[in-house]
Structure 1
């Protein structure tokens, strides 16, 4: 069987989570997120972001989180702004548009947004009330291209959004990987201080399923639970999510798992750099996009699964390689061995 570098959710979950689910399986608990595990996990998250006034909501997946958050934050005539590579634009089957909200796209080379990117969008939507109103800036960290926001970049973007009365929402499907990248100077506490809403992704970082939506803006907190219920995301057995996030938040397991995934990807990146490979983007997370000769891609495909991301020319293509919390040394070493032999 080929080893997969296609995604970071091919494995089940971290053994601590599985053990906890079995251990507490027969405990009787309140439903709909009022179980002791969910309540404890939410408290622990608030402690880690140093904001007891934030509200935490647990849902099953990233697309679900994006759909619920954006549709809850926007009025019918308002819209979201996203980089052209944003997940809400390319990988969610028009979920945001299906709620009646347009997404304004900005082409960026690195998948990130800056005030200078957004300003032309605002300037181009002054024909009130004939155009949609830009209201929400959607970003992800790490991005779909594996890049990350540094503290200064997020501070500038947050200040710009506040000045222009825009919400700032961070998709955190791979937030653990973004924050533990070796070049990152962002902290979870700072993310909470600079965003209106963000979420901690569990699905791609050791959980079976689950994302923890953290709402920092009090104006958005009010009645948010109704949106969770209306969109079918309020699980009767909320303990399934609570137990997982309680385990992930204990002893910084969440960040240890993400750091491991990053380190495994960096081993492959370093080996490719020694062979002279170029990359679509300079990433330090668990996603890398090397540009390889098509013959080497064919050889690697005999032993590994990965996406051929983009054709570069007749001889080469960019591939996407993703490592996970569970990626072992054997697979990484074997991949590097084939690279070195070719």
Structure 2
């Protein structure tokens, strides 16, 4: 069986394994205070075009989201997110477990707009006695979104402006950030994201690392005592150098972007085959996640040789599914899938 279920079914970018092996007997300080983490943070600061940022390495995406949000919010404040946002749908109430409500906004494409944020803000403060309801304080977005769409520079600028005007914090979940930055439709880069967001993270788990995420914090109010929260929330790795080595390797020679581009290009081949077959899509994605709407009979035949993620029922005979490529996806396997799509 050939799997297109997700972008972390494989292990790690081979150069990471090589580097981990060659440094295996090095003795370093723990908890990400080692030379490899310092080197990785230095490279990330260069890529972000800013030295006045803090870079922290955490073990996974859920720990990262709940730690940043816990740092940002007081007990009566909430995080604003699309209803499809990861913190609302796939983190087992992790944000609520920190004592903070997720305030959801409707979205047809996985994104939220500056207009929606402003309307939510105005609605809260125009109430009689706003202190009786959760105060919106942090705006959470993911890029790409859960359904593969990406934010444009103009959209992010508008969100950032609205957040600054209303004293809100803007936080970007970048679990698949490499696939967004390398999309043929993308017009954002790391320096722009750094400038416009109070905090964001660069995903490693889904973009070539064995595990780990790199948090970038620009806002001074979020920097203070952040390591205390990393430890308290279970995101701190004792053998922290394992994270530093991975991110140092991923960002040397721009490997992070090269392997992300590889995944996007293969996903575009799948997209093209589906379009030529006459299939429509659940979302207009130009990243490594593709969501074609296909006849159930075709999907049953595809199941004989391919694994994919079932997404949602469309009508009595059609469903939306997800085909996900990764940094490690082989072109030959994509071509086999394309041949099946064309012939079934």
The TM-score normalised by the length of structure 1 is 0.98
Q: C-alpha offsets along residues 232-283 of structure 1, whole Å, 9 cap, x if unaligned? A: 2222210110000000010110111111111111000001101111001111
> Following the alignment from structure 1 to structure 2, what is the Cα–Cα distance between the partners of residues 16 and 308?
33
2:189 aligned residue (187, 193, 201): 187
Aligned residue in 1 for 2:143:
141
> Following the alignment from structure 2 to structure 1, what is the Cα–Cα distance between the partners of residues 248 and 148?
27
Aligned 1:61-72 pairs, distance under 5 A: 61-72=60-71
Runs of 4+ that moved beyond 6 A: none
Aligned residue in 2 for 1:80:
79
Between 1:114-123 and 1:47-56, the stretch displaced more is 114-123
> Following the alignment from structure 2 to structure 1, what is the Cα–Cα distance between the partners of residues 10 and 156?
32
> Following the alignment from structure 1 to structure 2, what is the Cα–Cα distance between the partners of residues 146 and 290?
12
Aligned residues between the structures: 341
Checking the alignment, whether the CA contact within 8 Å between 2:118 and 2:162 is kept in structure 1 is no
3-state DSSP of counterpart to 2:124: coil
> Following the alignment from structure 2 to structure 1, what is the Cα–Cα distance between the partners of residues 119 and 43?
40
> Following the alignment from structure 1 to structure 2, what is the Cα–Cα distance between the partners of residues 183 and 301?
31
Aligned residue in 2 for 1:7:
6
Aligned residue in 2 for 1:264:
266
1:96 shift after superposition: 0.3
Q: C-alpha offsets along residues 93-116 of structure 1, whole Å, 9 cap, x if unaligned? A: 000001110111111000111111
1:55 shift after superposition: 0.1
3-state DSSP of counterpart to 2:228: helix
1:31 shift after superposition: 1.1
Aligned 1:183-332 pairs, distance under 5 A: 183-332=185-334
> Following the alignment from structure 1 to structure 2, what is the Cα–Cα distance between the partners of residues 93 and 323?
25
> Following the alignment from structure 1 to structure 2, what is the Cα–Cα distance between the partners of residues 311 and 219?
44
Between 1:232-241 and 1:101-110, the stretch displaced more is 232-241
Q: C-alpha offsets along residues 22-75 of structure 1, whole Å, 9 cap, x if unaligned? A: 000001111111111000000000011011010000001111100100011100
Aligned residue in 2 for 1:120:
119
CA RMSD, 1 decimal: 0.8
1:150 shift after superposition: 0.6
> Following the alignment from structure 2 to structure 1, what is the Cα–Cα distance between the partners of residues 180 and 14?
23
Q: C-alpha offsets along residues 108-163 of structure 1, whole Å, 9 cap, x if unaligned? A: 00011111112232122123321111000000000001000011110111001000
> Following the alignment from structure 1 to structure 2, what is the Cα–Cα distance between the partners of residues 235 and 334?
40
> Following the alignment from structure 2 to structure 1, what is the Cα–Cα distance between the partners of residues 279 and 264?
19
1:332 shift after superposition: 0.3
**Alignment partner of 1:42 is 2:41:** yes
3-state DSSP of counterpart to 2:132: coil
Gaps of 5+ in 2: none
> Following the alignment from structure 1 to structure 2, what is the Cα–Cα distance between the partners of residues 291 and 37?
45
> Following the alignment from structure 1 to structure 2, what is the Cα–Cα distance between the partners of residues 125 and 149?
26
3-state DSSP of counterpart to 2:139: strand
1:218 shift after superposition: 1.3
> Following the alignment from structure 2 to structure 1, what is the Cα–Cα distance between the partners of residues 226 and 119?
31
> Following the alignment from structure 1 to structure 2, what is the Cα–Cα distance between the partners of residues 173 and 319?
20
3-state DSSP of counterpart to 1:80: strand
Q: C-alpha offsets along residues 266-312 of structure 1, whole Å, 9 cap, x if unaligned? A: 00000110111100111100001000011110111111111121111
> Following the alignment from structure 1 to structure 2, what is the Cα–Cα distance between the partners of residues 33 and 119?
39
3-state DSSP of counterpart to 1:279: coil
The TM-score normalised by the length of structure 2 is 0.98
**Alignment partner of 1:165 is 2:167:** yes
